[in-house]
Structure 1
Amino acid sequence: MADLRQDRGQAFPIYIVMVAGLLFLAFAFFAVGQASATRNGAQGAADSAALAAAQRAREELGPKVLTALTTPGGLDNIFKDGPVLADARAEAVTFAAKNDAELQTLVPHAGGVGQFKFTASVQTNYTVGESVIPGTEREHGNATATAMIELRCGLPPGTGGSTSPTPMPTPTPTSTPPPVTITCDGKDMPTDPLPAPDELFAVKLVD
């Protein structure tokens, strides 16, 4: 009987160590979960900021389509001058803030023909929080995302090609310009009135 009590006494410290180890693992997994949630929050903020910048830039591009239709290769070069960066950046800042994050950088860059991209980098205003892992209380979430504006339209076949249109004839003072039709995602659309920006340009997240 004394041996049994002695065995129990020897096992008790081992039991304590095992329980402490399991508790540490539980808290460590919780810290990993906190870090993952912070990263996800940062990624959501970056996605929102990039999309907001692209959507704001898209709003100013609609009228440029009509000008592009009167210029050889105009649709190819519709992003040549780029959109107004200040307006796009202001929109990105706003949407990052709505997701409790701060916009770090917004980088515009050309894509392929008829494409333009914005890459947003953000940092969360909040941290991972205190945990059993040292330093997490100072660790913010960081993420980047890229959104692309893509021209959805071209001229119908037989009118100069989808991306290198034949210029419209210049009207004489006594005539009106001929109606222009463009094809957007396979659908013919008149340009008077001008289609909505989201019908002319798609905005999406890209890798």
Structure 2
Amino acid sequence: MWLTAILLFAGLAFFAFAQAASARNQTQTAADAAALAAASEARDQIMQRLSLAIEGGEAWQEWVTDPTVPGPFGGAAQQLAAANNASVVAGPQLTEVSGYPGFRVQVRRNDSVGDTVIPGTEAMHAKADAVAVLQPRCEIDGGTDPAEPLELNCDGEIVDIDPENFKPDDLPDASVLFSVNLAE
């Protein structure tokens, strides 16, 4: 009888730890999604600024090789965290990762770990954080005059930009010019 009770309690305790681990994994997924969303949102803003700079005859080359991250870039992070049953509690915060712009996000799971045989878990919420990094993929082949046609070499894919005959549709997909990846 005692052995059965001990085994039953051990099984319930094991289930509680598995339930907490599952909540933690789901929360990490939400943090990863939110960080990637913030970096992707910033990448889209950079593409808009790049297009405007080329159309306006401004110096645009740095937008490709060393982008300045505009803002705000938190709306998409909030949406993806919510889609994964979590809320952003910190960030997205602009940070630097190996010389590139990074986006740190911390999320908290909306649901608690749950009621288990371990006291206090019914009020505990899993937390996780993640960092996504935005990296330029292109090198400029040619001069530095923003009015002259230039060729970009984006990880082997050639992109020609002629500012004199530029249309916003001339730009490739943002993923050609910039990669977005998790850093941590």
Out of 173, 176, 181, the residue aligned to residue 204 of structure 1 is 181
TM value normalised by structure 1? 0.76
Compared CA separation, residues 167 and 99, structure 1 to 2 (3 A): same
- Root mean square deviation of aligned Cα: 2.2
Match of 2:108 in 1: 123
What is the CA deviation profile of residues 67-113 of structure 1, one whole-angstrom value per residue up to 9, with x for unaligned ones? 4993686655422xx2212xx21111111111111100111113344
Structure 1 gap ranges (5+): 1-15, 160-165, 170-176
SS, match of residue 11 in structure 2? helix
Compared CA separation, residues 71 and 93, structure 1 to 2 (3 A): closer
Note the 1:5-20 alignment, pairs <5 A.
16-20=1-5
Larger radius of gyration between Structure 1 and Structure 2: 1
What is the CA deviation profile of residues 96-139 of structure 1, one whole-angstrom value per residue up to 9, with x for unaligned ones? 111111100111113344x2110110000101111111111111
Match of 1:48 in 2: 33
Match of 1:102 in 2: 87
Match of 1:178 in 2: 148
Indicate conservation of the 8 Å contact 1:129/1:138, yes or no. Answer: yes
Structure 2 gap ranges (5+): none
Compared CA separation, residues 61 and 109, structure 1 to 2 (3 A): same
Compared CA separation, residues 199 and 74, structure 1 to 2 (3 A): closer
TM value normalised by structure 2? 0.84
Indicate conservation of the 8 Å contact 1:64/1:78, yes or no. Answer: no
Indicate conservation of the 8 Å contact 2:137/2:178, yes or no. Answer: yes
Count residues in correspondence. Answer: 172
Compared CA separation, residues 147 and 139, structure 1 to 2 (3 A): same
Match of 1:78 in 2: 67
Percent identity between the two aligned chains = 34
Q: Distance in 1 between matches of 2:3 and 2:63?
A: 72
